[in-house]
Amino acid sequence: MNILLVCAAGMSTSLLVNRMNEAAAAKGIELHIEAHPVGSIDQYGDSADVILLGPQVRYELKNVKGKYSGKPVEIINMQDYGMMNGAKVLDFALELGGK
């Protein structure tokens, strides 16, 4: 499964990617998780199975859902994002992806 996290600049979300990878490793799950700025979604969206938007770019939800209508596209819970709770965000992505 390919999970794409989208945020304003890709910096803070990179830390969340690391936490999600740690949680996936602890569960024995192999995934590919990337974080990129919302401005570059056209480059990465097609290969993603699940697209999660950081709370700071929630205003892009309708636009991203329109571009990728066949994929799960949702906003990361603000509290989970703020706490960098990789395990919860991973579980959310897996649920959205049907895993």
Give the pLDDT confidence score for residue 11 in this predicted structure. Answer: 73
Q: What does pTM read for this prediction?
A: 0.94
Give the pLDDT confidence score for residue 10 in this predicted structure. Answer: 65
Q: Which residues contact 21 (CB under 8 A, 6 or more apart)?
A: 31, 33, 86
Q: What is the mean pLDDT of each run of 10 residues along the chain (99 residues)?
A: 90 90 96 94 96 96 96 97 96 94
Give the pLDDT confidence score for residue 61 in this predicted structure. Answer: 97
Active site (annotated) includes residue 7 = yes
Q: Which residue in the list 3, 4, 7, 23 is annotated as catalytic?
A: 7
Give the pLDDT confidence score for residue 13 in this predicted structure. Answer: 87
Give the pLDDT confidence score for residue 19 in this predicted structure. Answer: 96
DSSP state of 37: E
Domain 2-96 has CATH 2.160.20.60: no
DSSP state of 92: H
The rounded distance, in Å, linking the Cα atoms of 24 and 18 is 10
